[in-house]
Amino acid sequence: MSEVLRAEGLTRVFKDFWGRPTVTAVDQVSFSLGGGEVVGLLGPNGAGKSTTVKMLLGLLRPTAGTCTVLGQSAGHAATQARVGYLPEESAFWPTLTGRETLELLAGLTARPSDPAALLARVGLTAAADRRVGEYSKGMARRLGLAQALLGSPDLLILDEPTSGLDPLGRREVKAMIGELATAGTTILLSSHLLAEVEDVCDRVLVLLNGRLVAAGGLAELLGETGQLALPLPQLSPEALARVLAAVRAELGTEIEPRPLSRGLEAFFLDLVARESGQ
């Protein structure tokens, strides 16, 4: 697996007007991303996730350390063409339509994808000719995703990609991330939604107070609890009693069966699919 991104001892100290250090936002962070990996960047507010991402993109200069993206220093024009970025805030030009926004950004890219196809991919075809200022937060997020995919990037950096999206949109985004990873795109996903990261990521990096406090594969980090879940279909009271008796005889302890809920998100998605005839 070829290396797509490497950060070595990445440090960023913010200073005040007089040059006095005020806060060390990122402190000696080192990690790397291989081709086709989906890696989650986790951490509470103020952990240094966004500052790290900005350094990887060349928007901020590291106080110390280096970051190499696709073989070049971060922010190098040659690599920008191969990096897609979805910022945490969907900041577009409110007077432009969605189509115009993508066409403008496509004009800045050497080999842009078709804006119309991207709009269709993120479900914005119907709103393509509306001004972005009139978009809902979720629509703006979808447009952000489309612009991140404009140059068919090899590395995609997504900062809270599902923020503001409804459950259907979140599911679509997760599916899209899966498709992109399958196609070989490396993805760095910064998110607060741990379940989401767990669903799509191969590895996670956990930042706390600017330091990398944990890194590794999900199975490696989460480990096993020593417990086993055995989903069963609905049983008659007699059948359930026989199963519990057999388990009790095997383990020597009492166990309490709990009904398995499908969860609100699954219920909502089923309902929407049923009502819309899908």
Query: Which residues contact another protein by CB under 8 A?
Result: 50-51, 54, 57-61, 75, 77-78, 80-81, 83, 85, 87-89, 91-93, 95-96, 100, 103-105, 107-110, 147, 151
Per the rule left: phi > 0, alpha: psi between -120 and 50, beta: everything else, 48 is left
The two three-digit tokens of residue 264, written as one number: 């609100």
- Cβ partners under 8 Å of residue 56, min gap 6: 5, 7, 67, 69, 74, 157, 188
CB of 82 vs another protein, minimal distance in Å:
8
11 vs 109 by CB, closer to another protein: 109
Residue 101 or 162 with smaller CB distance to another protein? 101
Instruction: Please tell me the distance from the alpha carbon of residue 100 to that of residue 169, in angstroms, as a whole number.
Output: 23
Shortest Å distance, C-beta 109 to another protein: 6
Length of the chain as a residue count: 278
* 39 contact partners, CB below 8 Å, separation of at least 6: 33, 186, 187, 188, 189, 201, 202, 203, 204, 205
Q: Measuring CA to CA, how many Å separate 52 from each of 22, 130, 269?
A: 17, 34, 34
CB nearer another protein, residue 75 or residue 204: 75
| Shortest Cβ 75–another protein spacing (Å) | 8
Q: Which is nearer to another protein, 58 or 161 (CB)?
A: 58
Q: Which is nearer to another protein, 109 or 113 (CB)?
A: 109
Q: Nearest distance from residue 136's CB to another protein, in Å?
A: 18
Complex with another protein: residue 2 or 95, whichever CB lies closer: 95
Contact present, 81 and 139 (Cβ < 8 Å) = no
How far apart are alpha carbons 86 and 190 in whole angstroms?
10
**Closest by CA position to 149, among listed 184, 185, 178:** 185
| Nearest approach, Cβ of residue 50 and another protein (Å) | 8
Cβ at position 189, least distance to another protein in Å:
16
* Closest CB 80 distance from another protein, rounded Å: 4
What are the beta bridge partners of residue 208? 211
First to last CA, the chain: 39
> Considering beta carbons, is residue 81 or 212 the nearer one to another protein?
81
Strands 72-73 and 64-69: antiparallel
